[in-house]
Structures are given as structure tokens and as C-alpha cells.
Structure 1
Amino acid sequence: MLSNMKRLAGLLVLLIGSILFILLMYTNVDLIPQEITKNPKRLYSNRNTFSTSRKNVASGEEFKKVLSSAFARQSKAVKVMLVGRMRTGSTFIGEILNQNRNLFYLFEPLHWIDVQKRKGLLNEWTSFKAETLKLLHDLSKCVFPSSFIHGTAMWPLARSKSKDVSPICKQSSACKKAEPDSFSKACAKVGGNIAMKFIRSDIEVLRSLVEEEHTNVKIIHLVRDPRGTANSRRSYYGKKALRLNGSLPTLGKMGLLIENNPRRMNTIPQLCQWMRNTLSYAIKRPKWLEGRYKILRYEDFSVNPLEMTEKIYKFIGLPLPTNVKEWLVSNTNSQISKKPTLFSTSRNSSYTATSWRSSLSLEEVLHVQHLCSDVMAELGYVKIYNEADLINSSVPLLTSFEFGNFIL
């Protein structure tokens, strides 16, 4: 009789546990990794293995351990957000995250939403912001919507610039036939640790990830000397003119110095306004950013790439892999061509940071400095006022700036 009662009690505990699991699945399924929801007997045990035997989940107590362990791993997984603007060096710096085999890396995951906006399919800023927020929430949980995969299939850079996305797309007709599950599995193999770089959103959009979902977010806010960004955008937008005429138009002729360019170019006034808004938000030191936000000047990285990479990895709480150090040494040394191609991840980093000195005219430099005077001063960028200082490489362009413990 006693043994029958024990058996009955055990079955009752298991039944209650199963009911609780089903309720969790349908009310907050995103909290549970897909591998767990598909098979509750499986649990992250290491980087890419799942092992909990049938025997270990025979009781309600063990079943609860499975779930709590899964939730713990999901909440501890780091979500690295490299936030910058077009031609600020984010592709290059993002590569030190892409090279890490223990991070699932995404290159410009917001690109497709931006395409929809430019096509007029997202007319209101609130719609764009809402779509951005929803996608970032999904991606941070290793959930990959069909719309995201479609956007990846439509944009070659999204496929080629990620070591994790590229093999998935190669096996699925350039991601045209890719299933969300293939992305989720690859993300789960690294314990849900994700890094993504994007140039199409603001820092504040990440707030709800921290405050509402308690996600372990680490934000690297990348800034660059506006003169360097202006020079890089000139090269990007002027590549057709260079090919046809053998020379690049000036910043003024390209329309990069006006607020709204009719050709939808990303202009320098827009860049500096974004820097202004973002800095003014961060300088207020909102509580949710504490311990989760660092500002990085591209020029500091260019001068000391290894030292700054070590600081980045210390900040995100992950060990710096040997292969990342090796990649850094071989892709930032002085023997590399001084003129990297667009979206290149190999460059003479110290030269690239100041190449605008030999490319922009003094008039162009003065114009950019006028547009961005306040943010340049706030970030410690030294202004140039004459031709002699412009071409004299010994004249410093950087000074220290005050941002407390938010400086990387």
C-alpha cells in the first residue's frame, strides 16, 4: 500500500511539472531555448552538447532543475551590441567579435527594416522603432523571424560578413531556403552568446532589453572623428565618379555637407546630430546603462588595437581567444596596404584613422569642423585651422576627454 502511494505521489509530481511546463511554453515561450521546448529532456550541458538522461527527469524535482538551469544559462548569455554610424569603422572593429568562435555574430541585422522604411513600407518613425525593437528582442533570444532570413537572403553582405551566417546560407541556396531553426541551433551551440553590429538605430532602443527582460546587454558605442567619417563617405559615395572620371568630387559637390540630401545619402550634419543626441543621452548616466555601456573612439583603437581589444573583451566578460589576437596582429600591421577596400577588414589601422589629412582640402576640413564643433570638443578631437597643421602629421589630433567610467 505504502509503495503504491509513493508511486502515485511521484506520478502526481510529474503531472504537475508537465502542466507547469506547458503553461510556461505558451505564456512565455521566448524564455526557453528552442532545444528545451522541443525536447524538455535536453539541457545545455556544455558549449554544444545537451545531456540529461531519461532517468534524470523521472521526478518533478529533476525536471525543475532542467528548466531552472536553462533559464540561468539564457539570462547569463551575453548580448554584445556594437553601435555606430555609417563609415565609422564598425565593420572593422566588429570583426574582432566575428572572429570569436564562441560568439554568434550578426552583421547589420537591422538592414532589412531600413530597406522597408526607404521603400515607404514603414512610414512613421514609431513603426521603424517598433520593428527594430521587436527584432532585437527576438535575436537576443536566438529567435530568427522569417522576415530577417528573407532580408539576409536579399543582401550579400549580411551573408558574407558573418562566419556563422555564411555556412547556413551556403547550404540553403544563399539563405533563400534557410529555416529559422538552422539559425537557432547555431546560436544555441555557443550558449546564446550573440554579438551584432549595427549603424541604423539608437542606444536608447536597447533599454527595454535590460529593464523589461533583464538581458545581459553590453553596449559598445563607437565614435569616429567626423573628418575621418566624411572622408570615408566621400570615397563610398564617390566610387562611381572615381571610376568614370578618375577623381572624387568634393564633399560639397556630393551634397554631404547639407542636412537633407535628395539622393538619401547619410550626410555629415545628420552624423553630428546623431552623435550630439547620443552623447547627451549617455552623459545623463541613466541607471540602466551602468555597467553595460562603454564609448570607444575609433582612433584610440587604431593606435592600440590589441590593448583596446583586451579592454573590449574584459568589458563584455569573455576571455580573449588566441585566434582573435592572431587575426588582429595580421590585419592591423604597417605592412598592409594603406588603402583598404570598402568594407575591408584588413588595414594599416593607424594610417587609416588619419588618412583624411591627405584627402580633404582645408576648406572641407573647416566646414566639417564648423558643423560638428561641439561634439568634436566633447570627444577630444583637436581642430585644424591652417594648411601647415593639416599636412603636418606630428600635429596631434586627439586629446583626453571626460566621460568617467563610460570610457573604454
Structure 2
Amino acid sequence: MDKGHALAQDFRDLLHCLRMRSKYAILLVFVVALVIIEKENNIISRVSDKLKQTPQSLMEANSTDPGLVLAENGSLLSLSELDSAFSQIRNRLLNVTLQLGGNREPAVAPAKGPRRHVLLMATTRTGSSFVGEFFNQQGNIFYLFEPLWHIERTVSFEPGGANAVGSALVYRDVLKQLFLCDLYILENFISPLPEDHLTQYMFRRGSSRSLCEEPVCTPYVKKVFEKYHCKNRQCGPLNVTLAAEACLRKDHMALKAVRIRQLEFLQPLVEDPRLDMRIIQLVRDPRAVLASRMVAFSGKYETWKKWASEGAAPLNEDEVQRLRGNCENIRLSAELGLRQPVWLRGRYMLIRYEDIARSPLQKAKEMYRFADISITPQVEEWILKNTQAPQDSSGIYSTQKNSSEQFEKWRFSIPFKLAQVVQNVCGPAMSLFGYKVASNPETLTNRSISLLEERRTFWIT
């Protein structure tokens, strides 16, 4: 690896001394890049071989069921080795690509006071879209809704081991660039590819006010199809350059992501001096999550429904293991955050959806206080208006709800047999977060019996 670096340096010195013409310099630099890449590929190959040869050590590093968490996220050992190798490749090729003019330094926001970067970390059907609106409605915050969706749809990684770790590293690196307002990074993953930094395919664009307001909202172009459009006004295709500039003008930035599996992957971002980063991990009763997913993603849970109603065929063991793995990932991240290691001190907050549903304005103020951002009257008005909607007045993806009435609605829609399965496989997570076990069908559907332990917000300064 040192030889590759020395070779690159020798060529740069030679180019400088001879003052060669630009086109020949570019050709030589490309040759240097190819040499370095070949050397680094050999190193990555050796690391991958080592991972394949030591499955037991990788399993033990997770300190949980190895067939579950490892299958989705790899382990800390594999993360450390691969991250080191990937970082060295990036660092060594950075100067080469800059000479070619093919890369940009990350955008840096102009100095206008402390700029906070807030990550709302959750899983699907935990109420994260609703909670994300607490930041989306604040005018001085640039908010992005699930931008990592594009990476999941574009980059293909086989489950398990080094491939799973590789996907997490891609997510993390894209996340860092987005927090630096380098929105161009998404152009590599949006399909079809944007043309001249214009795209009609920015996922759920309408869920980000910052992408639908002036000057990002350009004049509407008739007959131009846009799959993801703004909700309350007609805008032309998204101009990524205008969006990046708007990001820089905002005082703070917030982003919602349900594809970040483990908290420890985010340590380099938290330690990045350019980012004053705060992480809010949102959790919800896993029984409620399953009940919601069975409605939102009905086709994926047909076997669960048949087993619950007929009991003819056993549940798919892979599905049960996936449920266990999800719960374990959430629990392990929360335990790490609550331990408050030095790099996370004052930068991690755990909050339950049920507490937000019961006291939305109070919890919103707590989240803003944790992020060290002043909440505005507009946010407070939105919360009061959108948490008192009539029951059953909105769809499954709506952010309007009568939150105090609906947060326990799942208790009457999930069969007790399925609730038992969740309680069995997600018991450690439920215990950590204060969700009580229902011992029989009567307890499950008796609203006068609380299944929620009273806890203060999990936030340690």
C-alpha cells in the first residue's frame, strides 16, 4: 500500500517538474490510479478471504444470535477491517481524481452560527414519518425524507458478512455527504440518471418542504412526467444544484433514515468536526410494528396471516429469524447509546413513539432541546393541528392522526398468536424499552390495562 502511495507521489512530482501538457498529465494520472486500484483490490480480496475463513470469530463479535444480526449487518470485526481498507482507497485516490477535475470537495455551509445536523434513526412503521414532520415544518431546517432509499434500490449486496458491512459503509458515506449539502452524491443512485442535474425521480420529494419551496420549486413544465412531485404546488423537475444551494442557506439540517441498522457505524460522522451531529433513535412496541407492517405490506405477510387464522402451516423460520434480528439490532444500538461512550456523550437520544403519541408537543420540545435548536411557533401549530385529526380519517402513510387515540389501536388488530411470537423473539428489546407482555388475549385487548411502563425520555446529557 505504501509502494502505491509512493508511486503516485513520484508521478505527481514528475508532472510538476516537467510541466507537461495537460492531456498527457491526465493520461499518466489515470495510469497511476489504475495501478493503485489494482494493489488495493488485492488487499480487499485478502480481507474478504479472511472474513470467510473466520466465521466463528465474526459471530462472537456480535455477542448475539450470529445467524441474525450478522446476516444483516456483519460484525464489528469485519466493519473495522473493511472500513480501514475502504478508507485508504478513498484517501489515496482523492488527490488523483481532484487533479482530473472529476470530484468536488464537500460543500461547507457559510458561517452563521452553530449548524446542527440531526439524524432521526428508526425502522419502518415506527411513526418516523410523523415524527420527521416535527423538523420538516421548521423553516430554518433543511429536511430530507429517506434519501437512502435510492441507494437500497440501486446498489445490490448479498445478505450476510462482508457484503452487508459494505452496504452499511455505502449508506454511511452517502449520509455524510448529504449532511455536508453535497446532494450531487445522490445522482449516482437515482434511476434513471439525472440529466444536467435535473431529475423527476427524487423519492418522496413532496415530503420535504425544502425541496418544494422557492427557489428550489422551479416553474412547472407541462407534459413532463414526475413520479415524485410536490404535494401542494406544481414544480418543475428537481434541480439538484438549487437544492444543494438551499441546503447551505438553511441554519440546520435534519434527515430521516430507516436503513441505518447499527449505531456504531455512525461513529466517524459523530466525530467529524464539520458536523455537530445529534442522533435521535425512535423505537416502537414491536407488536405494533408487526401489526402495522401487515397492513402496509400486506403481500409480504400472507403466511403470517394464514398461520394466525388457520394454523395449518408453520411460520417460515426465516421470517421469524428476521424479526428477531431486527429487534436485536435495535436493542444493541440502544444499549450502546444509553451507555454513552465518549464519542456519543450528549449526542444520542432514545425516544418511544408511544410517549410522543401521548404528549406530542412536550416530546417535540424535548427533541429540539436535545438538538440545541429553538422550536418555532409554526412547528407547535402544526403539531396541535395534526395530532387531533378525526379517527380513521387518514391513510396508512398519513402524518395526520389523533395520536392519543391511535397509538394502541394495534392491540385490536393483531391476533394474540402473533403477539406471542413477537413477545418470544423480541423479549430483550421489549424489556429494555418498557413494553409489557400480554399473557392472554383478554389482557391484549383490555385498554384499561397498560402495556407500557412509565419511563422518562431516554436521554442522558
Q: TM-score under structure 2 normalisation?
A: 0.64
Do structure 1's residue 161 and structure 2's residue 207 form an aligned pair?
yes
Shift of 1:208: 0.8
Q: Which residue of 1 aligns with 2:279?
A: 219
1:138 maps onto 2:193 in alignment: no
- For residues 247 and 321 of structure 2, what CA distance do their matches in structure 1 show? 32
1:375 alignment counterpart? 429
SS in 1 for 2:269: helix
Residue 154 of structure 2 corresponds to 116
Q: 1:160 to 1:403 in 2, by over 3 A?
A: closer
Residue type of the alignment partner of 2:283: V
How far is 1:284 from its partner? 3.2
The alpha-carbon distance between structure 1 residues 387 and 100, as it changes in their structure 2 partners (threshold 3 A), is same
Note the residue ranges of structure 1 that are not aligned, 5 or more in a row. Answer: 1-22, 35-43, 45-69, 243-247
Matches within 5 A, 1:341-380: 341-380=395-434
RMSD: 3.6
Aligned length: 337
* CA shift for structure 1 position 139: 1.0
2:284 and 2:456 mapped to 1: Cα distance?
A: 16
2:146 counterpart of 1:91: no
- Return the alpha-carbon distance in structure 1 between the equivalents of residues 123 and 337 of structure 2: 16
Query: Cα distance 1:231–1:110, how it changes in 2: closer, same or farther (>3 A)?
Result: same
1:250–1:228 Cα change, 3 Å: farther
User: Per the alignment, in what secondary structure is the counterpart of residue 124 of structure 1?
Assistant: helix
Corresponding letter in the other structure for 1:132:
Y
Distance (Å, rounded) in 1 between the aligned partners of 2:324 and 2:200: 30
Between 355-364 and 398-407, the greater mean CA deviation after superposition: 398-407
Match of 1:328 in 2: 383
2:361 aligned residue (300, 306, 323) = 306
> What is the CA–CA distance in structure 2 between the aligned matches of 1:134 and 1:230, rounded to whole Å?
30
The aligned residue for residue 294 of structure 1 is 349
1:314 Cα deviation from its structure 2 partner: 0.9
Contact in 2 for aligned 1:81/1:218 (Cα 8 Å):
yes
Aligned-pair identity in percent equals 27
1:403 and 1:391, CA in 2 relative to 1: closer, same or farther beyond 3 A? closer
> Compared with structure 1, are the counterparts of its residues 178 and 358 closer, same or farther at alpha carbon in structure 2 (3 Å cutoff)?
closer
Secondary structure, counterpart of 2:424 in structure 1: helix
Q: Is the 8 A contact 1:81 1:219 kept in 2?
A: yes
Change (3 A) 1:125 1:90: same
Once the 2 structures are TM-superposed, how far is the Cα of residue 341 of structure 1 from its aligned partner?
Answer: 1.3
CA 1:239–1:162 in 2, change beyond 3 Å: closer, same or farther?
farther
Q: CA deviation at 1:251?
A: 6.5
Asked if the contact 2:125–2:289 (Cα under 8 Å) also holds between the matched residues in 1, the reply is: yes
SS of 1:164's equivalent in the other structure is: helix
Q: Is the 8 A contact 2:107 2:181 kept in 1?
A: no
Give the alignment of 1:5-404 within 5 angstroms.
30=105, 33=108, 44=110, 70=111, 73=113, 76-118=114-156, 124-148=163-187, 151=190, 153=199, 157-167=203-213, 168=216, 171=219, 174=226, 178-191=238-251, 193-201=252-260, 202-238=262-298, 258=316, 260-261=318-319, 267-333=322-388, 335-338=389-392, 340-401=394-455
Tell me how far apart the structure 2 counterparts of residues 321 and 136 of structure 1 sit (CA, whole Å): 26
Aligned mates of 2:358, 2:315 — CA distance in 1: 28
Structure 2 residues not aligned, in runs of 5+: 1-94, 192-198, 229-235
Give 3-state SS (helix, strand or coil) of 1:80's partner: strand
Assess, with a 3 A threshold, how the Cα gap between structure 1 residues 345 and 101 changes in structure 2: closer, same or farther.
Answer: same
The DSSP-based 3-state class of the residue aligned with 1:381 is coil
Q: Residue 151 of structure 1 aligns to a residue in which SS? A: coil
Of 86-95 and 314-323, more deviation after overlay is shown by 314-323
The match for 1:63 is: none
Contact 2:270 2:277 in 1 (8 A): yes
Contact 1:91 1:345 in 2 (8 A): yes
Distance (Å, rounded) in 1 between the aligned partners of 2:456 and 2:405: 25
* C-alpha distance in structure 2 between counterparts of 1:375 and 1:223, whole Å: 10
Contact persistence 2:121–2:256 (CA under 8 A): yes
SS class of match (1:268): helix
Task: In structure 2, give the amino acid aligned to 1:268.
Answer: L
SS at match of 2:366: helix
For the 8 Å contact 2:338–2:458, the answer to whether it is kept is no
Whether the 8 Å contact between 2:158 and 2:164 is mirrored in structure 1 is no
Partners of 2:207 and 2:393 lie apart in 1 by: 20
Q: Deviations over 1:80-137 (max 9, x none)?
A: 1000001111011001111111100000011111112457699822331222122111
Counterparts of 2:137 and 2:321, CA distance in 1: 29
What SS class does the counterpart of residue 318 from structure 2 fall into?
Answer: coil
Q: TM-score, normalised by structure 1?
A: 0.72
Secondary structure class of the residue paired with 2:408: helix
Whichever residue aligns with residue 440 of structure 2, its letter is N
* 2:391–2:406 contact (8 Å) kept in structure 1: no
Q: Is the 8 A contact 1:257 1:267 kept in 2?
A: no
- The change in CA–CA distance for 1:215 and 1:258 in structure 2 (over 3 A counts) is farther
Q: Structure 1 residues 126 and 154, CA, compared in 2 at 3 Å: closer, same or farther?
A: farther
Q: Distance in 2 between matches of 1:306 and 1:104?
A: 21
Question: Greater shift after overlay, 220-229 or 395-404?
Answer: 395-404
Residues 204, 384 of structure 1: alpha-carbon distance in 2 compared, 3 angstrom cutoff: same
SS of equivalent to 1:329: helix
Q: Distance in 1 between matches of 2:391 and 2:184?
A: 40
Corresponding residue number in structure 1 for 2:78: none
* Paired amino acid for 1:198: A
